[in-house]
Amino acid sequence: MLSPIQMTDAIKANRLRALDYYFAKNLCGDEHSDEFWVALLLSQAQSQGHVCLPLAKLADMPLPQICQQQRSGRLPQVHALLDSLLAHPGFSSAGDSTQVTPIVIDGDGAQARLYLARYWRYEHQVAKDLLQRASHNYPVELESLGQSLRQVCQIKPSQDLNGEVDWQIVACALAAQRQLAIITGGPGTGKTTTVIRLLAILLMQQELTIKLVAPTGKAAVRMSESIRNAKADLVLDEHLKALIPEQASTIHRLLGTIPNSIDFRHNAQRPIRADLVILDEASMVDLPMMAKLLDALPQGCRLIMLGDKDQLSSVEAGAVMGDLCAGVRYQAGQTLMSYRQPSAETLTRLTGFDLQAHVNSQASAMSESLVMLQKSWRFGGLIGELATGVNQCDWRLVSNLLQSLTIDSPVDWFAPVNNHRLVQDALANYQARVRDCQAGIKPAAELIKDFDSYRILSAVRKGEMGADTLNLAIEKELENLSLKDASQSFYVGRPVMILSNDYHLGLFNGDIGVCLLDEAGQPKVGFLQPDNTVSFYHPSRLPEHTSAFAMTIHKSQGSEFAQVAIALPIAENQSQTLSKELLYTGITRAKKRVSLYATETVLRACVTRATERDSGLEQQLISLAESE
């Protein structure tokens, strides 16, 4: 057994978590056994966001060196290792319903995948539920649906856009017929506009109980704002407009949290009341939360998932949105969907667009539920080109763009040797916001929104360019300007981010508020709600929190800012955690301007590294479809 000193050294070196070690030790006992190492590595993989661990990755793998006293060696080849694991009482096959074990093995031979049992159940449940919904088409009167499409989407009978497909209209036509629709697309591609049109079309046919949900409070506020704005632009009967809901909630609030429990009040036995659920920012939803949401939907409930498949995956295990968008194909510079001939013909009849290039005789029910919006209405010009280059791991394109910047460009690039330039730039932006809060010259909701004009997004929490360090540095500068009392942690004008869920208060990880003076002149932290009201909380009541002048890119998902300052680590040894998904997510939080603070070496490492998460969801969907 590892000594306490060896354990501490291994944890400090990030080679091991105590949880991983004790899970494997309690399950397998013998630290020298292959089963012990497999259990430890599986637990470690799950903590890194992987849902499963492919057996092929373990076979013949050198044992990780945790301490000098540890035996050296390699794990066995695939078949020998699989036989050894299945002979151990802590492991069982997914097809063996007679055993309940902590670790489940799904698949045979080199295709086998290892799961913590709970995550195998989540993945199997999600695959089964989504496939069932994807396989269900609603009977619709095509003539009536086509008329509604033409009215809401303003399709002209002869419209062909020079052969270009308007995927927003196709998405409306597809989702109007199906119980499941997955609509993916980058920022500004019109996901909200598409949903507003779709809701109008569906409400023309029948009354519906509709729920709008997002993973975080901030994302729910943004969803509500986007829908209000899109409704105002919709040319439609006011009575029909009034039927379209505007207020979104978090998934936690929709399902009903139970204090000190991972379960929710709504589940399969007590489903929510809804005919249609629209889930925004679906890429942020991890596998366990997706399983719980699907579990709580009534059997006939429609589900529409919106998100950007190229964004960072959820913080916790899983990459559900990315897995579900595997049906997107790329061929000869074209982005292609996959629809069977009858489906493509129906969509063509409804929309007038020629979809023959998107016909695939092998298309699955899941791929027939998928639409990718491909034209960005927000990102033209340099920010859009930069995001595209990063998303494609194209360092040459990114480098050329950055080398061609001018003083008028909406992108800046600074190669820092320390954080001084960034802190001073941030102070120039934040100083006026803090002064406005302390003067109290604007309504609370407006003061909170003003902070969204600028935000530092850091790739990491620690280190010179980490969010924690930058927050401290900015607050020190505010003290020098007499805008903050050094003896007080709370001061009017402090942006605050919640770091843990408090179900009783209704505050959740990632929610952002600002310390303001309430109506009685007392400092309280105000959080903007989806209905544009502000809820105030005394600072002493808040769950774990931190200042939010700077936040991690992970925490920024679901948010949007006029200008973002992206801070990457200066030290090359901190660049291992960087990826193109991280940088793409940071860039696409900006509406008007992006400032990059990164050395060329670290930036290149970020652009050229893609994240991979091990998951069996795609294979589960295939296996379940084949068994039907």
Name the 3-class secondary structure at 270: coil
Tell whether residue 521 is among the known ligand binding residues: no
pLDDT for 563 beyond 70: yes
Q: Is 49 exposed, middle or buried (0-12, 13-18, 19+ CB in 10 A)?
A: buried
pLDDT for 160 beyond 80: no
Of 315 and 458, the structure prediction assigns the larger pLDDT to 458
In terms of DSSP H, where are the helices of 54-93? 55-58, 78-86
Fold of 127-378+614-627: Rossmann fold (3.40.50)
Tell whether residue 381 is among the known ligand binding residues: no
- For 134-154, the pLDDT digits (tens) are 998 888 888 888 888 888 887
Percent with pLDDT over 70 in the chain: 92
Percent with pLDDT over 90 in the chain: 43
Report the C-alpha gap between 350 and 198 in whole angstroms: 14
pLDDT for 158 beyond 50: no
**pTM for the whole structure:** 0.84
Which pLDDT does position 2 carry in this prediction? 54
Which among 345, 333, 315, 354 is positioned nearest to 500, based on CA atoms? 315
What average pLDDT does range 379-392 have in this prediction?
A: 84
What average pLDDT does range 298-302 have in this prediction?
A: 92
pLDDT for 116 beyond 90: yes
Report the DSSP pairing between strands 550-552 and 454-458.
parallel
- The answer to whether 43 and 24 have CB atoms below 8 angstroms apart is yes
Query: Of 85-99, 143-157, 452-466, which has the strongest mean pLDDT?
Result: 452-466
Which pLDDT does position 332 carry in this prediction? 56
In the CATH hierarchy, which top-level class contains the domain 394-607?
A: alpha beta
C-alpha distances (whole Å) from 66 to each of 4, 19, 71, 525, 600 are 13, 14, 10, 45, 33
Of 275 and 572, the structure prediction assigns the larger pLDDT to 275
Tell whether residue 191 is among the known ligand binding residues: yes
Which pLDDT does position 559 carry in this prediction? 82
Which pLDDT does position 550 carry in this prediction? 96
Token reading at 153: 């989407």
Report the C-alpha gap between 160 and 344 in whole angstroms: 16
pLDDT for 288 beyond 70: yes
Tell whether residue 245 is among the known ligand binding residues: no
Q: Give the amino acid at 531.
A: D
Which pLDDT does position 165 carry in this prediction? 86
Q: Give the amino acid at 547.
A: S
Tell whether residue 76 is among the known ligand binding residues: no
- For 465-511, the pLDDT digits (tens) are 999 999 999 999 999 999 988 888 889 999 999 988 787 887 888 88
Which among 373, 254, 230, 375 is positioned nearest to 303, based on CA atoms? 254
Q: Give the amino acid at 413.
A: W
Under the banding of pLDDT at 50, 70 and 90, the label for residue 378 is: low
Neighbours of 341 (CB within 10 A): 13
Neighbours of 362 (CB within 10 A): 7
Which pLDDT does position 68 carry in this prediction? 47
Query: Of 24-33, 83-92, 123-132, which has the strongest mean pLDDT?
Result: 123-132
- For 505-543, the pLDDT digits (tens) are 878 888 899 999 887 888 899 998 877 888 999 999 999
Least confident residue range of 36-40, 122-126, 217-221: 217-221
Within the chain, which residue ranges are assigned CATH 3.40.50.300?
127-378+614-627, 394-607
Tell whether residue 513 is among the known ligand binding residues: no
- For 181-229, the pLDDT digits (tens) are 999 988 878 888 899 999 999 998 888 999 999 988 778 888 888 888 8
Tell whether residue 192 is among the known ligand binding residues: yes
pLDDT for 576 beyond 90: no
Angle separating helix axes 580-587 and 381-391, nearest 10 degrees: 160
Q: What is the CATH number of domain 4-111?
A: 1.10.10.1020
Tell whether residue 351 is among the known ligand binding residues: no
What single-letter DSSP state applies at residue 507? B
Query: Across the chain, what does the average pLDDT equal?
Result: 86
pLDDT for 101 beyond 80: yes
> In residues, how long is the chain?
628
pLDDT for 601 beyond 80: yes
Within the chain, which residue ranges are assigned CATH 1.10.10.1020?
4-111
Report the C-alpha gap between 104 and 91 in whole angstroms: 6
